[in-house]
Amino acid sequence: MVPLGSAGIDAWVEGRLAAYERAIELTEAEQRLFGEVRRRAISLAGTLIPIVWCHRAFSPWNICRTGGEVRVTDWEEAEPGLPLVDLLYFSLRWSHQARKPRRLEDRLVLLRELFCEPARGDRAFVPVHAAIGEYMKRLEIDRGFFPLALVIMTVEHAIGRFRRAQTLDRRSASGRERHDNDYVNYIGVLAECTDSLFADRSVAATSGAGFPALSDKRGRIDVRQAHADRRMSTSIPILMYHEVTSRPPVAYRKYAITPRTFARQMRWLAFEGYHPISLQDLFDARTDQKRLPTRPVIVTFDDGYRDCVNNAVPILKEHGFTATFFIVAGLVGKTSRWLVKERGFELPLADWSSLRDLRSAGLELGSHGMTHARLTELSSAVCREELLESRQLMEDRLGHEVRHLAYPFGSFDHRVRALAEEVGYRSGCSVRIGLSSRNDDSLALARVPINGDENLPDFTCRIHTARTVAEYFEYTVRGARQHIRRGIGASP
């Protein structure tokens, strides 16, 4: 979260409006619209907004559907910017996919119904509005940003189109740019709706029947209060990584991320003011021996792969970040034998000397069992051995306490949990997906998986919700559908 300052207004608002004005002559209505946008931007100065990494191109070309999954491919370098802009563009493209408007007039009607007159809009738009509302609520975006982001999104794409047309056809006669550029026409529609878009700062176009997620709470969100509330119930993402390598085995792509991607994610955490802490810090905070920093996050790596240690540690050091490596104590310096049975290959594991280096670099080491066995399938005696021996072996070889555990394969139940506690573990990480909160069971912590096939917007979405963009979208859409169904069921 950063306050919107004059540099942000110059870069995101003024720069774009000015470029548009240079390219296209504004009608009177459009001049009024731009005037409102400038006034709104100034009135929002100082408001806290999250800066997220933008996709410059959410479009049918990089959105692919396979079965029930929606994925977004990151063709370009993502860059930081105003949030919401991309989501609005995505919503527009999505509605085009759903309704397939052929003629320009139909596209204009669709835009008006989607964003300006939600009450009269298509029922199919309700989930979109719910998703936008939920997104704004979760990211604590002041509702006053809605018309601003909508115009900026449209202006940005109009300029892009205009520049492409210029490159392709230098003769492009003046006057034709309006006709050939849908987005210029969209600006025309938004200009007609200026009054309703900007009418009420707190609700504007984002209220009413069309926007159920926003209509429950009128008035401007008190961002500072929301922050204070969140601090009270700090939820902590415990990130779960496995391998960090530039050459992952094909069958392990999901669990491996490249050093470049990892570096980008750590940069984002640093930029956003996150503070990585260890599991011991979390334990100390829970037992009131230590205070948590603002925006705590825990970075964990399972299995102790050699490449992961070699690639991730320099990046962590660069930011002064701590992290926790869960080690398969009985296989240190050997290979990941359990993967042969599971996936048909094995990877080299770090040796004791590099683990000692990790420790002296301020990183935390935890146990991942002796042999990476599924603990729930073992007898209590063998399970106890896996848990205790791994801890003792690590303590002997590393010369310090080992009190934190990640259950191999996430396999644990009441019995395994009780054994872990009995042999002295203070925390146990599972593979249950979720953010952790202060009152969670320390020996059954949920984590946020970070997968190799996800992009930066997915990463940022996971930090806030534990879900990817597509999963989160699906989740809010499902919620909205139920909302509609309930609504329909209730009507006579």
Task: List contacts with Zn ion (CB under 5 A).
Answer: 302-303
Distances from the Cα of 142 to the Cα of 82, 187, 203, angstroms: 12, 23, 10
- 290 vs 374, which CB is nearer to Zn ion? 374
Nearest to 285 by CA among 357, 244, 330, 236: 236
- C-beta of 250: minimal distance to Zn ion in Å? 19
- C-beta of 387: minimal distance to Zn ion in Å? 15
- C-beta of 419: minimal distance to Zn ion in Å? 18
- 140 vs 303, which CB is nearer to Zn ion? 303
- 302 vs 307, which CB is nearer to Zn ion? 302
- 177 vs 303, which CB is nearer to Zn ion? 303
- C-beta of 303: minimal distance to Zn ion in Å? 4
- Residue type at position 394: M
- 62 vs 411, which CB is nearer to Zn ion? 411
Which value, in Å, is the radius of gyration of the alpha carbons in the chain? 26
Which residue in this structure is represented by tokens 């529609």? 189
- 262 vs 326, which CB is nearer to Zn ion? 326
Residue 147 CA to residue 36 CA, distance in Å, equals 9
Residue 66 CA to residue 50 CA, distance in Å, equals 31
- C-beta of 269: minimal distance to Zn ion in Å? 23
Chain residue at closest Cβ approach to Zn ion: 302
Which residue in this structure is represented by tokens 């995505």? 90
Residue 489 CA to residue 411 CA, distance in Å, equals 42
Nearest to 259 by CA among 307, 321, 323: 307
Which residue in this structure is represented by tokens 């240079």? 22
- 183 vs 252, which CB is nearer to Zn ion? 252
Question: Do you know the residue count of the chain?
Answer: 492
- C-beta of 408: minimal distance to Zn ion in Å? 5
- C-beta of 203: minimal distance to Zn ion in Å? 49
- C-beta of 432: minimal distance to Zn ion in Å? 15
Distances from the Cα of 239 to the Cα of 231, 343, 408, 435, angstroms: 19, 23, 16, 9
Q: Determine how β-strand 404-406 pairs with β-strand 427-433.
A: parallel
Distance from chain centroid for Cα 406: 24
- 303 vs 364, which CB is nearer to Zn ion? 303
Residue 437: which residues within 8 A CB-CB, separation 6 or more? 233, 234, 235, 236
- C-beta of 368: minimal distance to Zn ion in Å? 6
Residue 480 CA to residue 234 CA, distance in Å, equals 27
Residue 120 CA to residue 183 CA, distance in Å, equals 22
- 130 vs 375, which CB is nearer to Zn ion? 375
Residue 303 CA to residue 152 CA, distance in Å, equals 46
Contact 62, 73 (CB under 8 A): yes
- 86 vs 302, which CB is nearer to Zn ion? 302
- C-beta of 12: minimal distance to Zn ion in Å? 43
Distances from the Cα of 483 to the Cα of 123, 152, 369, angstroms: 12, 31, 45
- C-beta of 298: minimal distance to Zn ion in Å? 17
Output the CA angle 80-81-86, nearest 5 degrees: 110
- 452 vs 457, which CB is nearer to Zn ion? 452
**Helix, strand or coil for residue 333?**
coil
